[in-house]
A = this chain, B = another copy of it.
Amino acid sequence: MSKKQLIMDTALELFAKQGFEATSVQQITDQCGISKGAFYLSFKSKDELIIALIDYFMMQIISDIDHIVRNTKDEAVLYHFYFTVYQSFYRHSDFAKVLMKEQSQSLNKELIFKMQYYDKLFSETILSMIERLYGEAVSSTKYDLMYCIKGFMNTYSQLFVFYNVPLDLKMLAESLVEKTNLLAQHTTVPFISKEMVAMFKVKQPLSEETKKEEIVGLIENKIEEMEESIEKESLQLLKEQLLDPKFPPAIVKGLLENIRNNPHCKWISYLLGRYFE
């Protein structure tokens, strides 16, 4: 395990237990068995560490959820959505704790923007799922529905973030599917309008409408640090496809599936999935 990874693992544990502010760099390095100076060889600052953590996990979680939403074609998508959400929270429960503790609390501008950016991506995934599932029927209530789904997620995730009880994720997902369907099919009094959502829009803090060139850059970086493997070859082919499309969709999809299995490529897979749309 690289030193950077060691620091991230250790810090995550301490942040989950004590919170970000309350954990000192000294504590982290003591726990790691390294010196304080060594910490600053891996990260420019303490803030850079928490941002790295948030990026690392949010990219994984969002990629996973988006993938399941895109690739479940029937109405079971809602169930798989909820199940994947809670599975992610369960797997990364330390990260979930950090996220909840530091929620909107952070002083750091960059961090706030980061969170708003990921929240936007997440909202997009949910909204596209709603539209596919219920279509025109929810055109006036879909924003409320999106907020309710997010509300369900937050509310119920607190249960097992704060109490370390193993929960029946299947039943939880089923229960929330029923609730969501009820709201979707019978709601007649919307509250959140399209205009309201637009008003809440972030003023494009990160202009991360990820461009082709940026993705190419990301891929090239990733290729360099990878060993020879199917994933590396797939990445190489996807890069070529990006620059000069020639493969049919089936091949592209297969290549994407290849790299999704590598945790380090999940984010690229997510970006490419949106790009090739």
B186 touching A182, Cβ below 8 Å: yes
Distance in angstroms between the alpha carbons of A189 and B174 in the assembled complex: 7
A172 touching B155, Cβ below 8 Å: no
A contact patch SS? helix
Q: Which of A28-36, A55-63, A142-150 contacts B (4 or more CB under 8 A)?
A: A142-150
Distance in angstroms between the alpha carbons of A105 and B176 in the assembled complex: 28
Name A200's closest neighbour in chain B (CB-CB).
Answer: B163
Q: Which of A96-104, A228-236, A239-247 contacts B (4 or more CB under 8 A)?
A: A96-104
B189 touching A171, Cβ below 8 Å: yes
A205 at the interface (CB under 8 A from B): no
A165 at the interface (CB under 8 A from B): yes
Which residues of B are found within 8 Å of A154, using beta-carbon distances? 151, 154-155
Which residues of B are found within 8 Å of A165, using beta-carbon distances? 196, 199
Shortest Cβ gap from A196 to chain B (Å): 8
A101 touching B100, Cβ below 8 Å: no
* Cβ contacts A82-113/B at 8 Å (1 or 0 each): 00000000000000000011111101000000
Distance in angstroms between the alpha carbons of A199 and B101 in the assembled complex: 22
Name A150's closest neighbour in chain B (CB-CB).
Answer: B155
- Number of residues on chain A facing chain B (CB within 8 A): 43
Which residues of B are found within 8 Å of A174, using beta-carbon distances? 189
Name A179's closest neighbour in chain B (CB-CB).
Answer: B183
Distance in angstroms between the alpha carbons of A32 and B191 in the assembled complex: 40
Distance in angstroms between the alpha carbons of A199 and B196 in the assembled complex: 40
Distance in angstroms between the alpha carbons of A150 and B154 in the assembled complex: 11
A175 touching B163, Cβ below 8 Å: no
Q: Which residues between 154 and 180 of chain A lie within 8 Å of chain B, taking CB atoms?
A: 154-156, 159, 162-163, 165, 171-172, 174-176, 178-179
A19 and B144 contact, Cβ closer than 8 Å, known pairs A150-B155, A154-B155, A182-B182: no
* Cβ contacts A205-247/B at 8 Å (1 or 0 each): 0000000000000000000000000000000000000000000
What would be 29 A-B contacts, judged by CB atoms less than 8 Å apart?
A18-B107, A19-B105, A19-B107, A22-B107, A100-B103, A101-B104, A103-B103, A105-B105, A147-B155, A147-B156, A150-B155, A151-B151, A151-B152, A151-B154, A151-B155, A154-B155, A159-B192, A159-B196, A163-B199, A165-B196, A171-B191, A172-B191, A174-B189, A175-B190, A175-B191, A176-B191, A178-B188, A182-B186, A182-B187
Where the two chains meet, the residues of A that have a C-beta atom closer than 8 Å to any C-beta of B are 18-19, 21-22, 100-105, 107, 144, 147-148, 150-152, 154-156, 159, 162-163, 165, 171-172, 174-176, 178-179, 182-183, 186-192, 196, 199-200
Q: Which 9 A-B pairs have the closest CB atoms?
A: A151-B155, A175-B191, A151-B151, A175-B189, A178-B189, A182-B182, A182-B186, A101-B105, A172-B191
